[in-house]
Chains A and B, each alone.
Chain A
């Protein structure tokens, strides 16, 4: 379980706040999607969980332990992270990219190799064809699949995903979303997923947290948010899919 308790982040010594008074709980096995327009603080919040950014105030705990009291290096190795820009290491082959966290953790080579092959099969990239390629010999979708494999390599309980599919074309994005749902069902990971795409949120989320201006606007299941929006921000957010749905049914 990940608990955020009244966290705040200011990049300018308290003049303005990127995140303020934000409290959230993410329970085991749940997928929580944080959504909001750019600058709403969603990525900052995600990065504070594995201390890529350190909070100015409040407490974040993972499995009951305050992250600020943990060694950041160990913390990051125990939490899978999928980056917005994918961030594969361009000088390493696909398998070395995937095996990097197990290697940092000191796994023996044959165990690492078995793990990377297992993961490549899981995301539909047969190891015999893809393991030895360099990242730039892969398509964007294939690269982000490898990015997910890298995050899962050391079998972490938690997966933090920062707009991982944002740069992909709509078709590939949809395929990867389906695959992620499938992975989730099979592996039972706890996932915090950041996006600005309401359709992606609706597809993936168990619960949705709407952020606005660095504050939590509302959190709940999609039915709760649609049925009982806390205010205009949430209502507008769901207007768009509703309108499109209406347009779609009107056309047919």
Chain B
């Protein structure tokens, strides 16, 4: 049987798809356009002055090799902004290399005989460039622009990490929630868009090529102007899509409260973070005084922290262990209270940011085994594994295998090695353990798959793993202005223990509920919401 439920899945998301497609076209189009404006002069200069060639191509090449997330993080630090501006900047920088290189190659590839003729009949340098060299190099230059634009469509799916919109929103959300349909909802249109962009540029080039006498006065000849206008048409469609919402239901926007204070809530890009983000957002909305702008699903710690430090968002959930090691570059601390005190003091004094009361759970690494094995061998604590360790197969994420607070430290703290260690992706680690492919994994303590796959966490009896308690981190400035925010958010304090967070994560990861629904149901059951949002 064919599963037709995807039809209603897509149909329900047409308004979003419409806007995201528009944004995606604009992101790609504008950045490619800017890159052309920069790369053409650079290419012309580099082909003209030989000494410029190395530096220009080298610089463009280096830009190309910067990983996308690193580029976004660097631009966030330099520009102090998240959203469209750094996104377009990053995409423009990535588009430079193919265009510059093809411009140089194209200009230098023009036949020497033709150029001597251009000089010999009395063209000035400028006339030689614009009347002969450029037109003859055009196919190669356009090939570079096509490469840049198609690659741009692909990279533009990543700028959703910094809240710049585009089809990447679906992909990121799908990745965060392990929802294949959402991933495809972004990836398939992006693929089609890449083909359309490539075709439109190829058509525009074709229309600019000199036409043979045999082709004149044919039907094809009449297609020349429309072909030239094709890339422009695509841009107009992008503009139209991103600024209209023909299918959107009314009443969904915040337009009804023009004078309200806007609080911008951020989160990182995985289920737990999005659920926490939605919870905080719902609590703030429920109070009635504020309007919440959700900037959830941002691409990781550096981007969230950067956005908060720059005042681009007002709060997001962070973990004590992450703040300690990744932000403060402090060494690992095992005492949870001491870690929390250290982190909050540093944030308050150095960063102007405030840690509120933690949610309650500790999402640290957890050495996890099958429940059945634990029962059979009587394993309760990690040190119980010592005798059997050399017989056990471990499956760890590559990060865990490397980090000092991962396997290397674990071996030292407990004094044993596992018989065999395999690198596994977090998404398949739990299944691998459940299906007897490995015996021990480094789970995340709040992952819903631990109970779902009948796995059991072993107690860290030597307190080796650093604590990763989650808490809202808020800008001190906004707390000073609206002190009631603290009270609102601290009603969530201590509310979520490890099993509760596991269950909520499971609802999103495995039962495919929306984080908003999960957060809403939970808060309602706790009696924390005054108004009914349905």
Contact = CB atoms under 8 A, between A and B. Distances in A.
B331 interface: no
A90 B124 contact: no
A133 B216 CA distance: 10
B213 A90 contact: no
Contacts, number: 70
Interface stretch (A71-79, A188-196, A223-231, A236-244): A71-79
B216 A76 contact: no
B223 interface: no
B113 A87 contact: yes
B210 interface: yes
Contact of B119 (A76, A90, A100, A133): A76
B135 A83 contact: no
Chain B interface mostly:
helix
B521 interface: no
A89 B213 contact: no
B213 A137 contact: yes
Nearest to B117: A87
A90 B216 CA distance: 17
Nearest to A74: B122
B450 to A, nearest CB: 68
Given A91-B210, A134-B212, A83 B117 contact: yes
Contact of A101 (B119, B122, B135): B122
A83 B120 contact: yes
A137 B210 CA distance: 12
Given A52-B116, A87-B116, A104-B127, A81 B121 contact: yes
A90 to B, nearest CB: 7
Contact of A76 (B114, B120, B210, B212): B120
A137 B212 contact: yes
A50 B120 contact: yes
Contacts of B122: 73-78, 101, 104
Contact of A92 (B123, B210, B212, B213): B210
A132 interface: yes
Given A90-B114, A93-B210, A77 B119 contact: no
A209 interface: no
A52 B120 contact: yes
A150 interface: yes
B424 interface: no
Contacts of B209: 91
Interface string A56-92: 0000000000000000011111100101111111111
B136 interface: yes
A48 B212 CA distance: 37
Contacts of B45: none
Interface residues of A, number: 29
B529 interface: no
Contacts of A81: 117, 120-121
Contact of A134 (B116, B123, B136, B210): B210
A78 B119 CA distance: 13
A86 B118 CA distance: 11
Nearest to B113: A85
Interface in A125-146: 132-134, 137
B213 A133 contact: yes
B240 to A, nearest CB: 35
B282 interface: no
B119 A52 contact: yes
Contacts of A52: 116, 119-120
A89 B124 contact: no
Contact of A132 (B114, B136, B216): B216
Given A101-B122, A104-B123, A150-B121, A83 B132 contact: no
Interface string B89-128: 0000000000000000000000001101111111110010
A151 B117 CA distance: 10
What size tier do the contact residues of chain B reach?
20 to 34
B213 A77 contact: no
Contacts of A89: 114, 117-118, 131-132
Contacts of B210: 90-93, 134
Contacts of B117: 81, 83, 85-89
Contacts of B118: 87, 89
Nearest to A130: B213
A191 B127 CA distance: 27
B513 to A, nearest CB: 61
Contacts of A133: 212-213
Contacts of A73: 122-124
Nearest to A101: B121
A77 B209 CA distance: 28
Interface string B172-213: 000000000000000000000000000000000000011011
Nearest to A162: B120
A206 to B, nearest CB: 24
Contacts of B216: 132
A81 B121 CA distance: 7
A132 B113 contact: no
Contacts of A50: 120
Interface string B123-147: 1100100011001100000000000
Contact of B113 (A75, A83, A101, A150): A83
A81 B113 CA distance: 13
Given A77-B121, A91-B136, A150-B121, A83 B212 contact: no
A134 B213 contact: yes
**Listed residue (B114, B120, B127) with the most chain A CB atoms within 10 angstroms of its CB:** B120
Nearest to B211: A134
Contacts of A137: 212-213
B146 to A, nearest CB: 20
A86 B212 CA distance: 20
Contacts of B132: 89, 91
B120 A90 contact: no
Given A50-B120, A83-B116, A104-B127, 12 more contacts: A52-B120, A75-B122, A77-B121, A88-B117, A89-B117, A91-B135, A91-B209, A101-B121, A104-B121, A104-B123, A132-B216, A134-B213
29 contacts: A75-B122, A76-B120, A76-B122, A77-B121, A81-B117, A81-B120, A83-B116, A83-B117, A84-B113, A85-B117, A86-B113, A86-B117, A87-B113, A87-B117, A88-B114, A89-B114, A89-B118, A89-B131, A89-B132, A90-B136, A90-B210, A91-B132, A91-B209, A93-B210, A104-B121, A104-B122, A132-B213, A134-B212, A137-B213
3 smallest A-B Cβ distances: which pairs? A87-B117, A77-B122, A76-B122
Interface of A: 50, 52, 73-78, 81, 83-93, 100-101, 104, 132-134, 137, 150-151
